[in-house]
Structure 1
Amino acid sequence: MLLNPAAEVVPLPPVEIGLTLDQLEATALASNPSICRAYNLVAAARGNWVQVGLKPNPSVGYEGQQLGSGGLAEQHGVFFGQEIPTGGKLRLNRAVAQGEILVAQQQLAAQRQRVLTDVRSSYYRVLVAQRQVGLAEELIEVADEGSRAVEALFKASEVGRVDVLQSQLESEQAQILRQDARNAYEAAWRELAAVVGVPDLPVQTLLGDPAAPSHELQFEATLSRLLATSPELSGAVADLQRARRAVERARVEPIPNVTVQGLVNWIDNGIGGKPDGGVAISVPLPLFDRNQGAIMRAEREAAAASYAVTQTELDLRSRLAPVYEAYANARNQTERYRKTILPAAEESLELTRKMYGIGETNYIGLLTAQRTFTQTNVNYLDAILRLRQAEVAMEGLLLSGSLGSNGESSSATASPASRGATAPQLRGPGR
């Protein structure tokens, strides 16, 4: 009797090989140079915070007087000096610098979101391009099947040479469609590799379903989330706070700093060579320059920063409107294609094939059904991509264009959905 009988072997599910969206995002966050650039700008702002709060260095030097008196009244000494900032200038310097750090941090957050948005957008472009290649292969099979049917009927003298030529043309168009799909896939992959920050990323399968159902987004909820979490708006608020602190700093600038000097003469021949010393305290008199221009400038910049907050909020509302419109249209289209149009196009093609086989319709009818089936599937993939890109744009807080010249391209025209981006174009045969 076996005390430890062998356990029943349970087959493991097949493991899919390919890249996931999470893997691509992690790689991009580590490799995209725009994030490294923004991170270093934050570090630079922190360095500035350290510098502007440092006290002035003291001064030291030698002082000699009455040097031409033949030793009768010569004085030799060492002096020390220190400027003492007043009015809380150093504290306010750091308050302004802290505001600059907050602005830089929001710019870093915005840049990080731009990278994620670009990766997700390119990811769906590649996924849809993968589907397009598969669709093109299916369309070749459809065209070849039609060609075989026509050849059989031609040999039976039931159709003319024109039908044979038309079927051959359809097969050639399907071949062109497949090559276009492959080219579109390669272009989408190159774009993805650049955004991820690995230009030589080898071509491989991406895991995911671009047509997977998603939760419906509502405009008001999306707008509320955008206004609450947008780093653009947070950055504008941080810049307003910085500008207000700059006003405070400008207003204390006229308060004179105190300069204290001390002198020690180790030899004063005027008093028999004995040591003596002296003290001097000085302050500038703000009679003419009371920092009037700088105060005015700081106040106007603070007012401008306040308007910038309102402008940014309105800009976000304006940019969201066309993106949500594109989303709503694409969502409606994908649902109709999936539930009604695609099944109808497939059934129409099957029925037309049967009717053509028994002579109840001519080749023009079959050709029309094939082209309708082709274009319907092409349009469906196009709608899927527009839906995903609109979702990505809204979930990405309307931030995109991470590899722009300054890394801050984020207008509605920069987002894939709002600029009317569509799937890499696959045109049905004969269109």
Structure 2
Amino acid sequence: MPPLKSGWSRLAVSCAVVAMATAVTGPACADPAPSFEALLERIGLTPTIMEADALLDAAEARIRQARVRPNPELGLEAENAFGTGPFQGYDNAETTLSLSQDLELWGRRSARVGVARAEAGTAALRRDLADVEAASRLALVYAEAEAAERRFQLAEEALTVTIADTRAALILVEEGREPLLRGIQGETEAAAARATLDEAQAERDAAFARLTAVAMLPTPVTSIDGGLLDRTPAGVTVAVGEAPEVQVAEAERAAAESRIEVERVRARPDVTASVGIRRYEAEDATALTFGVSMPLPLFDRNRGAIDAARAEFRAAEARLIGARQEAEADRNAAEARLRASASRVAAADAGVTAAEDAYRLSRIGFEAGRISQLELRSSRAALINARNAAVDARLARVRAEIELARLQGRAPFGTQQ
């Protein structure tokens, strides 16, 4: 009998120590994260959005620059000066001051402006796509942090339940209704539950750190009050248009088509008009000069650049076709995953309810001595797994909603950006 009593005392002390450690696991002062909507309003401060804004500003500046006409050229030319014979010195010199201007015929300026506008349109759509992707990333990190916090809370509950079961087993060991082995097994299970709790705490802290960094929060997040896991997704009820990637591909195709016209215009000669004043020193007289000049397109007709622009247009058209096909397939898959995730959440919740009832009945039967500790352990493990599966199902539903929202070009859960 003494070995039994000393073993029981050792296990009781061990369980008490574990319980005390569990009580001090949580943070002393929680700093809850702002709501997802509040963080979404600050998304314009993220580096990716700031980069997209800067690129859009650059594209709009190129439109203004494309509208500007080329500068005129001012020329000064002296002839018949500082030579030999009658051209010694500057007395018989002819001095011409001229002003030349590229006329930009054949629609050069309008073609140049058209390309700049098409590229600015692409930059604007890329800015919208950056908004959608940033919102999707924020939603995913937020949901993962919330799921990590729930898993940590479930691990705490699992440790508490394991300790309670172990204490109940120790009582039966003391009464001689169970062998000492059952108590030792309970201690092992409590240690394993403690290790699981430590791992869940590390995952929670890492998820909070990621959320703090992605949301660019000034203070670290230590808790989440209400998140995305329990929200009903907007899903397929939202009216959809073209996916953002398809819109960008369409804009790139339009820009590539406008570059063909630019290269065609460049194949035509530049026409330059000039006007000037010529001074004749010998006669002490002046006269006007004027003229028109243009290169002869004998060798360079810009055919290679035109062919290259056409090839780039075909490539852009092929990318557009591929983007449409991929977006349609991805959207159908995302809608199917969202519907399946909703069913999975309902099944997981039903599983949690059944597992809780099964564990409650097992605990009553164990304390009454009608079922064994192995059956109690099995029902407890089923309850822990069911609760974690419910968290996983909700996180999968959030991910399906995020993917579908990205393909539909909106923020997740119907929130406004």
Normalising by the residue count of structure 1, what TM-score does the alignment of the two structures yield? 0.82
- Per the alignment, in what secondary structure is the counterpart of residue 204 of structure 1? coil
The Cα of 1:317 is off from its aligned counterpart by 2.3
**Corresponding residue for residue 373 of structure 1:** 383
Counterpart of 1:36?
50
What's the secondary structure of 1:263's corresponding residue?
strand
Q: 1:318 aligns with which of 320, 329, 346?
A: 329
Q: How many Å separate the matches in 2 of 1:398 and 1:122?
A: 20
The answer to whether 1:389 aligns with 2:399 is yes
Matched, 1:304 2:319: no
Give the match for residue 122 of structure 1: 141
- Displacement of 1:342 in angstroms is 1.0
| Shift in CA distance, 191/321, structure 1 to aligned 2, threshold 3 Å | farther
Alignment gaps of 5+ in structure 2? 1-30, 411-417
Change (3 A) 1:176 1:322: farther
Q: Where in structure 2 are the equivalents of 1:137-216 lying within 5 Å?
A: 137-198=156-217, 201-212=219-230, 214=232
> Per the alignment, in what secondary structure is the counterpart of residue 384 of structure 1?
helix
Task: Give the whole-Å Cα distance in 2 for the aligned partners of 1:263 and 1:110.
Answer: 54
- For the residues of structure 2 that align with 1:163 and 1:210, how far apart are their CA atoms? 42
Q: How many angstroms does 1:86 deviate by?
A: 0.6
Q: Which residue of 2 aligns with 1:45?
A: 59
Change (3 A) 1:91 1:140: same
Contact 1:115 1:195 in 2 (8 A): no
Deviations 1:252-302 (A, max 9, x none): 222222112223123431xx2222232221111222222211111222222
**What amino acid sits opposite 2:59 in the alignment?**
A
Among 257, 282, 292, the residue aligned to 1:244: 257
- Matching residue's letter, 1:363: Q
Q: Does 1:358 align with 2:377?
A: no
Query: Quick check: 1:334 aligned with 2:345?
Result: yes
Q: 1:147 and 1:72, CA in 2 relative to 1: closer, same or farther beyond 3 A?
A: closer
Q: Separation in 1 of the partners of 2:245 and 2:33?
A: 35
Q: 2:246 aligns with which of 208, 233, 249?
A: 233
Deviation, 1:72, is 5.1
| Corresponding residue for residue 135 of structure 1 | 154
How far is the alpha carbon of 1:320 from its aligned partner?
Answer: 3.3
1:148-185 CA distance string (max 9 Å, x none):
10111111111111110111111112211211111111
Judge conservation of contact 1:117–1:399 (CA < 8 Å) in 2. no
Among candidates 32, 35, 40, match of residue 25 of structure 1: 40
Q: CA–CA distance in 1 between the matches of 2:213 and 2:336?
A: 29
Change (3 A) 1:187 1:398: farther
1:326-353 Cα deviation digits (max 9, x unpaired): 4333322210121x21111111111111
> Shift of residue 386 of structure 1?
0.9
One of 121, 125, 132 as aligned partner of 1:113: 132
Count of equivalent residues: 375
1:274 equivalent in alignment to 2:285 = yes
CA shift for structure 1 position 321: 4.5
**What is the TM-score of this pair, normalised by structure 2?**
0.84
More helix by share: 2
Q: 1:77 aligns with which of 96, 112, 124?
A: 96
8 Å contact kept, 1:128–1:210:
no
Task: Point out 4+ residue stretches in structure 1 off by more than 4 angstroms.
Answer: none
**CA displacement 1:372-419 (0-9 Å, x = unmatched):** 11111111111111111111121122789xxxxxxxxxxxxxxxxxxx
What is the distance in 2 between the residues matched to 1:256 and 1:313? Answer: 40
**Residue aligning to 1:424:** none
Cα distance in 1 between the residues matched to 2:64 and 2:228: 49
Shift of 1:324: 3.8
**Cα distance in 1, alignment partners of residues 229 and 270 from structure 2:** 68
Q: Structure 1 pair 251/33, CA: closer, same or farther in 2 (3 Å)?
A: same
